[in-house]
A and B are shown apart, each in its own frame.
Chain A
């Protein structure tokens, strides 16, 4: 645990420097014996997130801060938390699964857009241009993670964009900054020395629905994958609650 905490602090510092200061400073701060020096100057960042569900207590600080940061209309969600309850007393478990757009490397939400209103930026973040989007909702159908919604105010598709406006100011995403237990780590996946890369290298991580082929860039530690379909096969009580209202849970 102490080990993890150091990594986290380290990653956070790297990240802030990487955004704010000159890249030379990053090289200086992150150089470790045996690691290549050249990478920091010529590589592009690829942003990703790692969520350590063992540390998540389901407090919804992320959901709330995301809503206020990004003006998410009521009833719609860029960030939400799912609860997975299992078992009968005393053999029970309760797991939390914070959710957001996975900023996939091969997102079908992008390839189905008939207006080219949504695209992957050079840093890997999938964004939507609300002035181009016609609101056809095809991308909402195409996302296997239910990460998108139609924003009734703009009439455009909307979703988590890793808080690009905050990133441009050198700040972390709102949900990351507000997580009191540091369950969310944000950073550059292309930098092997970033906190997130080191956590991913040293832990068993997984992504949601890898079989969809979207190549998510949001990683998780310690997910319980049980869902309603498992109720029929695992002979125990399972209840999944989503705080993404409206849609059928998917």
Chain B
């Protein structure tokens, strides 16, 4: 078995930071797009509450994983805040910190007994939404740049990786919102409530399908770019190709369960609405299973990538 420099805490962190960043980006976008009427306000609220939690937990995991922390120097990680340099990790630390602050402020604006569009916190809410979108995208992209910047790790060393992580982040963020929405769905709804619920459901599912499509494309580029090259990249990507150590994990869990299955189900749900203008309806069980499978796929993507990068190495001595 291989000894890994970065293990499960880092995998979990990359997944959770991406999820939180995606949830905030989605929430802020639908809030701003919904305009003063407050269309999609509920989705924005769910996203706002979800966002800071995984990011904070993931960051905490990361601190626990630090060598200095494990050796008993509990506050040495604060050295990160004495420096700004061009290390992806330094940039990421600052981005992440800003993101956490903004996402907490953003969540706070929804935290009253009856938050409504246009209430007293509306200004602050919109302001933090405007700031939150670029920060969310920044956090999602940086998780990919962190790994992609290293020639010593040929599996990671691809510019497509950051794009892939960005798409996966937003898609998992949306999945988390769909999941929470379905879990908290009221048993008894008025007709307007049902109508709104389904309309919002359509928006979320349609966006998620599009993102998964793009993600499949990015994944295809990532794999083919390496596989069609010769040398380090090709040798490294072999670990997820047929016969490779991680090929089942990758093809079954990331591609089939994480991408193809949810994409096909969502497609089946949204096509009648798009093509035949039928009302969108999705069963609650579907609204739970589809996001769960997207989330599993997102986690497995980080898992496979983080592990594969560390058990492959450049060719030659």
Residues of A within 8 A of B (CB): 82, 97, 108, 111-117, 132-138, 140-144, 146, 150-157, 208-209, 211-213, 223, 225, 227, 229, 246-250
Is residue B281 within 8 Å, beta carbon to beta carbon, of the partner chain?
Answer: no
Q: How far is the CB of A185 from chain B (nearest CB, A)?
A: 20
Other A-B pairs beyond A97-B317, A112-B88, A155-B70, 14, CB < 8 Å: A108-B150, A111-B86, A115-B80, A134-B66, A135-B68, A135-B70, A137-B5, A138-B87, A141-B309, A153-B71, A154-B71, A155-B68, A155-B72, A227-B317
Nearest neighbor of A135 in chain B, beta-carbon distance: B67
Which residues in B have their C-beta under 8 angstroms from that of A151?
67
Which residues in B have their C-beta under 8 angstroms from that of A108?
150-152
Q: A143-B152, A155-B73 are in contact. Are A117 and B79 (CB under 8 A)?
A: yes
Which residues in A have their C-beta under 8 angstroms from that of B76?
133-135, 155
Number of A-B contacts (CB under 8 A): 124
A142 touches B80 (CB 8 A): no
Cβ contacts B4-29/A at 8 Å (1 or 0 each): 01100000000000000000000000
A208 touches B71 (CB 8 A): no
Q: A156-B68, A225-B317 are in contact. Are A114 and B152 (CB under 8 A)?
A: no
Is residue B184 within 8 Å, beta carbon to beta carbon, of the partner chain?
Answer: no
Is residue B314 within 8 Å, beta carbon to beta carbon, of the partner chain?
Answer: yes
Q: A141-B5, A248-B2 are in contact. Are A223 and B317 (CB under 8 A)?
A: yes
Identify which of B6, B67, B153 contacts A155 (C-beta below 8 A). Answer: B67
Can you name 6 A-B residue pairings with CB atoms under 8 Å? A108-B150, A117-B79, A141-B150, A155-B71, A208-B317, A213-B151
Main SS class of interface, B: loop
Give A208 to B86 CA distance when docked, in angstroms. Answer: 26
A111 touches B66 (CB 8 A): no
Nearest neighbor of B146 in chain A, beta-carbon distance: A138
Give A248 to B66 CA distance when docked, in angstroms. Answer: 21
Which residues in A have their C-beta under 8 angstroms from that of B191?
none
Is residue B311 within 8 Å, beta carbon to beta carbon, of the partner chain?
Answer: yes
Is residue B313 within 8 Å, beta carbon to beta carbon, of the partner chain?
Answer: yes
Which residues in A have their C-beta under 8 angstroms from that of B92?
114
A112 touches B315 (CB 8 A): no
Which residues in B have their C-beta under 8 angstroms from that of A112?
87-89, 149-150
Identify which of B72, B90, B235 contacts A114 (C-beta below 8 A). Answer: B90
Identify which of B68, B69, B311 contacts A248 (C-beta below 8 A). Answer: B311
Q: A108-B151, A143-B152, A155-B69 are in contact. Are A114 and B314 (CB under 8 A)?
A: no
Give A146 to B311 CA distance when docked, in angstroms. Answer: 12
Give A157 to B66 CA distance when docked, in angstroms. Answer: 11
Is residue B316 within 8 Å, beta carbon to beta carbon, of the partner chain?
Answer: yes
Residues of chain B from 212 to 260 with CB closer than 8 A to chain A in the complex: 235
Which residues in B have their C-beta under 8 angstroms from that of A133?
67-68, 76
Give A112 to B83 CA distance when docked, in angstroms. Answer: 12
A250 touches B6 (CB 8 A): no
Which residues in A have their C-beta under 8 angstroms from that of B93?
114
Give A82 to B93 CA distance when docked, in angstroms. Answer: 38
A115 touches B6 (CB 8 A): no
Nearest neighbor of B235 in chain A, beta-carbon distance: A229
Q: A112-B88, A133-B68, A141-B150 are in contact. Are A209 and B317 (CB under 8 A)?
A: yes
